[in-house]
Amino acid sequence: MTDCKFANDAEVIAFARDHSGVFPAGAHLGVEEIGDGNINFVYRVFSDDGTSVIIKQALHYIRIIGEGWPLSQDRIRIEAEALQQEAAYCPDLVPRVYHFDAARSAIVMEDIGAYENLRHALIARARLPLLAEHLGRFAADTLFHTSDLYLDAHRKKELVGRFINPDLCKITEDLFFLDPYCDHERNNINPLLWDEAEALWQDEPLKLEVARLKYRFLTCAEALLHGDLHSGSVFACAEGTKVIDPEFAYFGPIGFDVGSVLGNLLLNYAGQAQLPGTEAERGAYQDWLLETVAGFWNTFAGRFAELMEAKTQDPSLNLALYREAYLADILADTIGYAGTEMIRRTLGLAHVADLESIEDPQRRAQAESRVLSLGRAMIMQRGEIGSIDALIAFVRGH
């Protein structure tokens, strides 16, 4: 575990100059640390003419905690390689990687500062016309092309080996699937929600279904996931979308990525009911969110089905009946994993601004309670809902 941290601004600037290829020789460069994440160091290096790059560096511990919480630096190699995999199929939807430096544990990449963090955009009720199509295409293209449907049997297994990611997977295994279902010290629970949390910890049928979903997360190496596809990993503007931060990438169940997107849209949906504004404003934005859920799924499923039909390499998996059954299974997983995302963002360690920005604790508890109840119902009924329209009716009626 080498400490390869940049000693000063001059080192960061020199590194960016040497490895990005975007700055004219002799340009005067500045640097700022912009890390608003918790885990890594992130720098922006810029020149007078507005050109800029991002440097993301992973040390052998978690940034906001320090050496007390060690974390493998291999995560930055995984992030760099995952970005390259994603760029092979969706070059417009990920930041460009200029350089990965193993010795420095650092990636030099495109600055996407013109895009806004999707979570903040949703809280501000922005309507992003391209979002559903872009995220649906991102999920379909990255997941299909890293699955056994498309990859050669040897290549798939080689990639599975390259993306074994135990440290980051363990975070998800614990924070998604363990902590919220017991009285864990890492949990962060609104005191007004305590009774509901205690009831949930006794809910054996729910815990059975969560065990099944956790086991699939542990064992089901379907495709190379982004692994952390919540609203904070998406940057968007009217013209485009960028998906960042795939350091949790590993081969897992496709529905986990798709469900993360869906769960985050529904977290915002539940939060909107308690955020400022008129009822008409809230309702109209909630309608837009549900249209976005449908548009996202329909783009994903339509594109995935097309890819299956056109590009599935293995004739024993290229059957019309199997394509239908496959997408039905993915929808069930998606609804289930969306439910686990919703519950863990309410009871677990890491909350979301969509709910935390509701200032009145009583109103926040109302939104959280709805999230909990909807998340539970989605987990329990994930195999029966059957279509995205049925899911939307289910959400509206809940």
Residues engaged in binding its own copies (CB under 8 A): 148, 153-154, 156-158, 160-161, 164-167, 169-170, 173, 177-178, 181-182, 204-205, 207-208, 210-212, 214-215, 218-222, 314-317, 319, 321-322, 325-326
Closest to its own copies by CB, 127 or 207: 207
Nearest Cα residue to 146 out of 36, 206, 247, 225: 225
Closest to its own copies by CB, 192 or 220: 220
Closest to its own copies by CB, 98 or 322: 322
Nearest Cα residue to 311 out of 172, 178, 148: 148
| Structure tokens belonging to residue 22 | 């975007």
Residue 367 CA to residue 352 CA, distance in Å, equals 12
Give the number of other Cβ atoms within 10 Å of residue 390's Cβ. 14
Closest to its own copies by CB, 284 or 319: 319
As measured in angstroms, the least distance from the Cβ of 136 to its own copies is: 22
Closest to its own copies by CB, 111 or 209: 209
User: What angle in degrees, to the nearest 10, is found between the helix axes of 166-177 and 74-89?
Assistant: 90
Question: For residue 316, which phi and psi values (nearest 5 degrees)?
Answer: -75, -10
Closest to its own copies by CB, 6 or 326: 326
As measured in angstroms, the least distance from the Cβ of 240 to its own copies is: 32
Nearest Cα residue to 326 out of 147, 176, 76, 175: 147
As measured in angstroms, the least distance from the Cβ of 85 to its own copies is: 17
Beta-sheet pairing, 61-62 with 52-57:
unpaired
Beta bridge partners of 47: 29
Residue 76 CA to residue 311 CA, distance in Å, equals 31
As measured in angstroms, the least distance from the Cβ of 176 to its own copies is: 10
Closest to its own copies by CB, 114 or 325: 325
As measured in angstroms, the least distance from the Cβ of 254 to its own copies is: 10
What is the dihedral sign for C-alpha 102, 106, 111, 113?
positive
Closest to its own copies by CB, 219 or 278: 219
Residue 381 CA to residue 85 CA, distance in Å, equals 34
For residue 129, the SS3 value is coil
Contacts of 276 (CB under 8 A, 6+ apart): none
Q: Where are the alpha helices (DSSP H) in 96-203?
A: 118-123, 131-144, 153-162, 166-177, 194-201
As measured in angstroms, the least distance from the Cβ of 326 to its own copies is: 8
As measured in angstroms, the least distance from the Cβ of 43 to its own copies is: 31
As measured in angstroms, the least distance from the Cβ of 320 to its own copies is: 8
